[in-house]
Structure 1
Amino acid sequence: MPIKIQDGLPAADVLNQENIFVMTESRAVAQDIRPLKVVILNLMPIKKNTEVHLLRLLSNSALQVEVDLIRTATYEPKNTAPEHLSTFYKTFNDIKMNKYDGMIITGAPVETMEFEQVQYWDEICEILDWTNNHVTSTLHICWGAQAGLYHHYGIPKYGVENKISGVFEHTVRTTTEAIIRGFDDRFLAPHSRHTEVRGDDIEPVKELSIISESKEAGIYIVLAREGRQIFVTGHSEYDPLTLKEEYERDLAKGMNPVIPANYFPDDDPSKLPKVSWRSHAHLLFANWLNYYVYQMTPFNLEDID
């Protein structure tokens, strides 16, 4: 949460230059507080796991958050019980007349397909267009980030020779954006994907800003529309054993997967992985909720445009 200080205090200029969030008394008085409404489009196959991953991070905040879960209507998920879906999930048609403070669009196991070949691509496009004037800030994750960059800005994705799997070191390209407040100059985050977006395609687009990247894993965080769209190509929300489970699943399918990099001690899959990205994950989600949702959203949801 921000530091509230007197209007005109000289320290405010210094703190702002250091990318520390301060709030003057006059701004604080004008704020109203209510629960934030966040909708999650869960495209991951094992939905219960993703629910835990995301809700854990959303809960690590002083803010009260109300969550709606939605799934695709044009594709029936195969790895989650129908009873769970009917009890806890809505479809886009159920909520499209609503407005939300924030939205999360997850990854999906369809990245090796061309976007237009994905069975629910038309539905995704409709949802992405809807976010423009129904959501204050949308956080796109992994394939969700690639889909958003492609649909909104025409940024293509490219296949990679070997799956980008593991925990990789990242650097911050710019220190002036609130999404990376409190980040170390170098930090770790997991990735798990067969495709990538490239800086050479993103940099010429004036609406897009590359915030963070990795020498090994490539582009990581991209911002647009002053944070109303945030694209994160990795999986900071992953549990300690998620990459292990994915690796073992691919082994069982006879896929001969690469061992996730920088993950198992001594690159030995028989050893228990150590978590090295948890603090970054919590800070990423806390920054998004605070600075791009709570601080930017109107008190009256109907005023979102």
Structure 2
Amino acid sequence: MISRRTFFKLLAGTAAGILSLGGYAGGVEPLLRLETTRYKLSPRGWPKGRPLRIVALADFHACEPWMPAERIARICDYANTLGGDVILMLGDYMSGMKLVTGVVPPDDWARALSVLKAPYGVHAVCGNHDWWQDSQAQELRLKETVAHKALRAVGINAMSNSAARLGPADQPFWVAGLEDQWAYLTGNHRMRGLDDLPGTLAQVTDTAPVILLAHEPDIFPSVPNRVSLTLSGHTHGGQVNLFGWTPVVPSRYGSRYVYGHHEEGGRNLIVSGGLGCSVAPIRFGSPPEILVIDLV
């Protein structure tokens, strides 16, 4: 089976020869389009008559020239206009792409993210690239990364197998943030996660509803009914979606959770298509997006 990296390298090379496709996939969709994708649902465990609007952002992959700090700030300014009661970020602020002209330092992308504001705060988890691009965290097997520290330095709640009780006293809800499932590179294209789902949910101390943040959607089959909604990123909607066919999806479930709303056994998952690019600066049929989710 073709690897994700090999596929995107082949596609990037092909795009150079197919100008119409390459121009759109490399210059229009990843840079000039920004969708606002809206969902409205009443998940199990969410109290009737308790509306909550979530604005969710995923997979910035900050780098020059594709996702500079200035572009991140513009996206965040727009996100602030969407009326979110809470803003949730789903990981991968760092970029591992080779086809870049420069690195955006964590302090710079975090400063751009710091403009995000919402009544119940801004809460985030980190993703696999935040771990993979931190050489010290990999070498020393640290429990957190420079990305966690950069987020916290600007007042964003960077979660790591932790939970926070939010909302008014008479209508609380929990946000639980799972640490990354692919955190450590172990060789031979294998990864070891730091996720602790039981330990994270054990911090939920009452019956208020729970929203789970998990960068990779692969955890979803293990998520208990106690969780009203799981939010994930990571897949970029396939990044290349050829009229419903997503050739390469970084998930052990293939295309099962590649994008959008999934309901299984009454449990709900929404997977964001994300904002940036991984491996190659190409998007086709999967434009950058911000999620607006109304729970009712």
TM-score band by shorter chain is: 0.3 to 0.5
Normalization by structure 2: what TM-score?
A: 0.32
Determine which structure has the larger helix proportion and give its number: 1
Q: Which has the larger radius of gyration?
A: 1
Normalization by structure 1: what TM-score?
A: 0.31
